[in-house]
Amino acid sequence: MASADAVVIGGGIAGTAVALELARRDVSVLLCEQGRTPGEGATTWSGGLLRAHHTAHCVTALAARSLPVFQHWGDAVGGECGYHRTGFVMIVARRLLGHLRHNAAAVEAAGVATEMVSTASMAQRYPALSFAGQQDADLVAAYEPDGGYVDPAACARSLLAAAVARGVRLSEGVAVTGIVIERDRVAGVQTTLGRICTPTVVLAAGAWSARLLGSAGLQLPVEPRRIGIARAPVDAGSGPLPAGIDDTLGTYFKAAGRQPGGGVYFGVTADPQVTLDALPAPITQDEVQAAAKRISIRIPAVRAAAVCGARAGFDGYTPDRQPIIGAADVPGLYISTGFSGGGVKIAPAVASLLAAEIAGEEPDPLLAPYRPQRFVTGNLIESEYRYVHS
C-alpha cells in the first residue's frame, strides 16, 4: 500500500501550488489527478486575469501577495506562467465612486500600484475601448498598471514540474474515490488504483470537491458551475487592450495574445446547471451572442467580428463567492477549493499560507476569513464596498 505524509487531491493550480509548497517544507507528498495536469477543471480553461482590485479586501491582500510570484515566476517557481502586463481597469457607475476609491485605497495599502483614471484617458490609452454616450458623468475607473493576465495551464504545469523536482509523486489518471476516516481522523484515501495511507489530505478538487467529501459523509457548500469565455478578433489597428471588468455591463475582458490583433476574450455568464459526469458542454451560439452584445458596448469591434472560439470549464462556487481554505473539523483534512471563478490570481499566496499551516507553523491571519467553519457560524465573507455585480 502506498503512503505519504500528505495526499493532495487535484492537479489544477490550487493542488499543484500547495504540493510544491508542502515539498518545500520537507513534507512527502503524493498528488492524485483524475485527468492529466493541468487537469479537467477550471485551470485548463481559465482566463487568468490578474488584479488586486476586489470589493472584499481579504482577497485584495491575497492577490497582492501573489502578484510578485507571477511577476518573477522564473525565480519563484521556474518555467513560464505567461504573465502579460497589459494593465487592468475596473469600470463602475459614477454613483459608486466612493466604493471605487475605498477599494483602490485597499489595493494601494496592500502594496500594488493603482490610480483613479478618467474614461477619456482610458479611451486615449486603449483606443479599442469605447465610452461613447457614457462619459465621465456616468462612469469612473481605477487602473492597475501591473494587472493583466497569466496562462493558468502553464502555471500549473510549471508548479507541477517544480514540485516533482522536489520529490512530489504524481499519480495522473488516478481518481480519489473516497477519503478514509478512522478513529475520527484522516487515515488515507481510496483511489481507482487502491488505497493510499496518509495522515493528511488536502482537498483541491475544484468543482468536484463537495461530491467527493459527500462520499465520506461530510458536507461542503461548494456547487459546480460552468464558466465560459469567448474570443473575437479585433483589428490590430485598434491597438493594445487592457484586462478589465466592467461592472456596469456585468462582464470582463482581456487581450487574446500578446500582439494587437490577437483579439479579445470576454466573459460568458456562468451556468449553474451542470453535470459533473461529463465534460462541460460547449458554449452555445445563444450564450456567445448575449455575451458579445454586452461587451460590444465597451469594445465595439466585437460587434462586427465573427466570434471565433470559446472555452468552458467547471469551477466550484461557495455561497459567499469566496474560497474555502484551511483545516476541516476532521483532523488531518485540509480544504483549498471553492474559488468561485477567481482562484488563479490568489493561488501562490493561498498555497504558501496553507502549506505553512499544514507543516505546523502558526496560522496566518490572512487566511482567517476563509475557514470552512464560517458556513456553520454564519460568519460569511462580505465585501466592504460592493459594486453591482461584485
Ligand X SMILES: Cc1cc2nc3c(=O)[nH]c(=O)nc-3n(C[C@H](O)[C@H](O)[C@H](O)COP(=O)(O)OP(=O)(O)OC[C@H]3O[C@@H](n4cnc5c(N)ncnc54)[C@H](O)[C@@H]3O)c2cc1C
- In one letter, which amino acid is 244? G
Touching ligand X, residues 278-337 (CB under 6 A): 311, 313, 315, 337
Cβ of 177: how many Cβ atoms within 10 Å?
Answer: 13
Residue 40 binds ligand X, judged by CB under 6 A: yes
Touching ligand X, residues 43-82 (CB under 6 A): 43, 45-49
Q: Which is nearer to ligand X, 27 or 155 (by Cβ)? A: 155
Provide the minimum distance between the beta carbon of 343 and ligand X in the complex, in angstroms, as a whole number: 3
Residue 345 binds ligand X, judged by CB under 6 A: yes
Residue 22 binds ligand X, judged by CB under 6 A: no
Residue 341 binds ligand X, judged by CB under 6 A: yes
CA distance 375 to 270: 23
Q: Among 4, 6, 7, 9, indicate the residue that binds ligand X (CB under 6 A).
A: 9
Residue 214 CA neighbour count, 13 Å, CB half: 8
Residue 315: all three cell numbers together: 469551477
Nearest residue to 180 (alpha-carbon basis) of 295, 330, 68 = 330
Piece in contact with ligand X (CB under 6 A), picked from 73-81, 204-212, 294-302, 369-377: 204-212
Provide the minimum distance between the beta carbon of 118 and ligand X in the complex, in angstroms, as a whole number: 25
Provide the minimum distance between the beta carbon of 76 and ligand X in the complex, in angstroms, as a whole number: 17
What is the chain's percent helix, strand, coil content, to nearest 5?
30, 25, 40
Q: What residue spans of 166-307 are helical by DSSP H?
A: 209-214, 285-298, 301-304
Residue 13 binds ligand X, judged by CB under 6 A: yes
Q: Specify the 3-state DSSP secondary structure of 313.
A: strand
Q: Which is nearer to ligand X, 127 or 262 (by Cβ)? A: 262
Confirm if 201 and 7 have CB atoms less than 8 A apart.
yes
Any idea what DSSP says for residue 282?
P
* H or E element, residue 177: strand 176-182
Q: Which is nearer to ligand X, 121 or 289 (by Cβ)? A: 289
Touching ligand X, residues 219-248 (CB under 6 A): 227-229
Q: Specify the 3-state DSSP secondary structure of 150.
A: coil
Q: Which is nearer to ligand X, 43 or 390 (by Cβ)? A: 43
* H or E element, residue 63: helix 57-71
Residue 355 binds ligand X, judged by CB under 6 A: no
Residue 372 binds ligand X, judged by CB under 6 A: no
Provide the minimum distance between the beta carbon of 78 and ligand X in the complex, in angstroms, as a whole number: 19
Any idea what DSSP says for residue 329?
S
Q: Among 212, 256, 305, 349, indicate the residue that binds ligand X (CB under 6 A).
A: 212
CA distance 119 to 137: 10
**CA 232 to chain CA mean position, Å:** 23
Piece in contact with ligand X (CB under 6 A), picked from 38-46, 91-99, 112-120, 130-138: 38-46
Confirm if 42 and 373 have CB atoms less than 8 A apart.
no
CA distance 77 to 163: 9
Residue 387 binds ligand X, judged by CB under 6 A: no
Touching ligand X, residues 159-198 (CB under 6 A): 175-176
Touching ligand X, residues 136-155 (CB under 6 A): 152
Piece in contact with ligand X (CB under 6 A), picked from 29-37, 72-80, 95-103, 213-221: 29-37
Residue 373: all three cell numbers together: 467553519
Which residue ranges make up the site for ligand X (CB under 6 A)? 9-15, 32-35, 39-43, 45-49, 152, 175-176, 204-208, 212, 227-229, 311, 313, 315, 337, 339, 341-345
